[in-house]
Structures are given as structure tokens and as C-alpha cells.
Chains A and B, each alone.
Chain A
Amino acid sequence: AQSVTQLDSHVSVSEGTPVLLRCNYSSSYSPSLFWYVQHPNKGLQLLLKYTSAATLVKGINGFEAEFKKSETSFHLTKPSAHMSDAAEYFCVVSDRGSTLGRLYFGRGTQLTVWP
């Protein structure tokens, strides 16, 4: 079975400081892993994805994540936070062996960016 655990429900940072959103996954198969972002009253937007190529994945808006199989982690980072990064972030896993596309979401991390 697939699942993800987001270790922090809320993260607060000051603008210009680094962002770290933590995610651990559990998967019976080789997983595909994603980070989605949700701004208030908006749909979910794909930030980045890992599907077995390079373990360090670069996404949009300066975000990146590193797949660490030994630690079953896929933490999301950004060197310098911007006010516009304030949103809800979801770590997501999908069974790569499935073509059905079902995604399993973590509980989300609310990122607050202080000026």
C-alpha cells in the first residue's frame, strides 16, 4: 500500500530564508513521488515529480526535492522563500506500476512566509 507522511502540519519562515517541507513515503512498489501546491481557493498545481530518473528533482518557482530511498524521504526545499510561496503543500505518491493514476496525498503542510 502507498502512503505519505508529512512531518509538519505548519511551517513558518521569514522571507528570504530557506524552506524545508518534510515528507516520508511508504510504497510496496517503486514509487512515483510528487509535490503539489494549493493556494487559497485554487486548484492543485504540480510543483515537481520524481519518476525514477535523477534523484534530485527541480520544479517550478525554485523548488527542488531529493528522493532518498534509504531514508524513504522526499523533502521539498527552496533556498529563499518568497511571500508568494505561502500556500498548502501536499506530498503525493503514486504506484508507478499503475496506469490508473490514483494519487495518495499526505495531510498537507501549511507554509507561512513572514515579511
Chain B
Amino acid sequence: AAGVIQSPRHLIKEKRETATLKCYPIPRHDTVYWYQQGPGQDPQFLISFYEKMQSDKGSIPDRFSAQQFSDYHSELNMSSLELGDSALYFCASSNTERGAASAGELFFGEGSRLTVL
């Protein structure tokens, strides 16, 4: 079965540079979520989109932005990178219309590991 695809899997950037992470949800899933997991930390919710509109916002820095496109894929844009942005970034998807989101059944990708030097 198709899973959530994230790219790139690994990314190395310098401070103050910009990075873009991509997420391709499971087909027919209408909601995408972004989570950030710092070293040794639990995943923290950043932002989510439902039907291409922002549906919820968590602890996402102002330097970060995200959007969901017409084909439902999503991109997380990170600018003015700081050392503290080094983390594993997870994308997850769900089919909200089926009520799966309220049941917490999110399907996670394998993550994109960002290292800021």
C-alpha cells in the first residue's frame, strides 16, 4: 500500500540558509500535518492543512511557512535557518472526511532529517 512520501530524506544547510521539505500524502487523504522532532525530543505539532487550507497551527516559527497544493502535496519552507532547527521533520496524512483525524489515525512518513551547520 502507498505510504506518505517525504523528500529529501536528509538535508544539510548552513545557518541563515533556506530549506524546503516536501510531503506527498497517501492518495485520497485530504489532510496533511507537519511535526518537528528535535534530538531526544517528542514530536511537536507545527501546522496542518485540510483541503489546501490551513486547518490548525502549533508551535511553528514565523520563519517557517507551509502550504498544500492542488494535488494535495505539501511543502514546508524554512528560512533564516538556525542551529536549533536541526531536527527530524515528519509529515503525516489522514482522511478527515472519514473521521479518521478525530480518531487520531495519522499515517506518518519516514521523516526528513535537517542538519543546520
Residues of A within 8 A of B (CB): 32, 34, 36, 41-46, 49, 51, 90, 92, 94, 96-108
Contacts and interface: CB of A to CB of B under 8 A. Distances in A.
Interface of B: 4, 31, 33, 41-45, 48, 50, 55-56, 58, 90, 92, 94, 96, 99-111
B90 A106 contact: no
The 4 A-B residue pairs with the shortest CB-CB distance in the complex, in nearest-first order: A101-B101, A105-B42, A94-B104, A43-B108
Contacts of B33: 101-102
A101 B57 CA distance: 11
Given A99-B99, A101-B48, A103-B104, A41 B43 contact: no
Contacts of B4: 43
A36 to B, nearest CB: 8
* Overall SS of chain A's interface: loop
> Of B42, B90, B104, B110, which is in contact with the most chain A CB atoms at under 10 Å from its CB?
B104
Nearest to B100: A101
Given A94-B103, A100-B48, 9 more contacts: A46-B107, A90-B42, A94-B104, A98-B102, A99-B99, A100-B50, A100-B101, A104-B45, A107-B41
Contact of B110 (A43, A104, A105): A43
Contacts of A100: 48, 50, 55-56, 101
29 contacts: A32-B102, A43-B108, A43-B109, A43-B110, A44-B43, A44-B90, A44-B108, A45-B108, A46-B106, A46-B107, A49-B103, A49-B104, A96-B102, A99-B102, A100-B50, A101-B56, A101-B94, A101-B100, A101-B102, A101-B106, A102-B33, A102-B45, A102-B58, A103-B43, A103-B45, A103-B104, A105-B42, A105-B43, A107-B42
